[in-house]
Structure 1
Amino acid sequence: MSSRPDALPPANPQKLRTGLSRVWHAAGYSLEGLRAGWGETAFRQESMAALVLLPLAFWIGRGWVQVALLAGSVLLVMIVELLNTGLEAVVDRIGPEWHDLSKRAKDMGSAAVLLALLLALGIWTAAIVERFAG
Structure 2
Amino acid sequence: MLFEKKKGFGRLFDSIKNSLSGLANALLTENSFRQLFIITGILFVIALCVDVSAVERLFLVSSCFLLLVVELLNTAIESAIDRVSLEIHPLSKRAKDIGGAAQLVTMLMTVTVWAMILL
- Relative to the length of structure 2, the TM-score reads 0.94
1:18 aligns with 2:37: no
1:27 aligns with 2:16: yes
Q: Counterparts of 1:121 and 1:61 in 2: how far apart (Å)?
A: 18
Q: Counterparts of 1:69 and 1:80 in 2: how far apart (Å)?
A: 16
CA RMSD of aligned residues (A): 1.3
- Shifted more, 61-70 versus 39-48: the winner is 61-70
Q: Give, as a single letter, the amino acid of the residue that structure 1 aligns with 2:74.
A: N
Q: Cα deviation per residue 1:46-84 (whole Å; 9 max; x = unaligned)? A: 011111111211222522111110000000000000000
Aligned residues, how many? 118
Q: Counterparts of 2:89 and 2:78 in 1: how far apart (Å)?
A: 13
Q: Which runs of 5+ in 1 are unaligned?
A: 1-10, 130-134
Residue among 56, 65, 88 paired with 1:98:
88
1:123 aligns with 2:113: yes
1:76 aligns with 2:66: yes
CA contact (8 A) 1:57 1:70 kept: yes
Counterpart secondary structure, 1:13: coil
Q: Give, as a single letter, the amino acid of the residue that structure 1 aligns with 2:63.
A: S
Q: Counterparts of 2:62 and 2:26 in 1: how far apart (Å)?
A: 19
1:57 aligns with 2:47: yes
1:111 aligns with 2:101: yes
Q: Counterparts of 2:105 and 2:59 in 1: how far apart (Å)?
A: 15
Q: Which has the larger radius of gyration?
A: 1
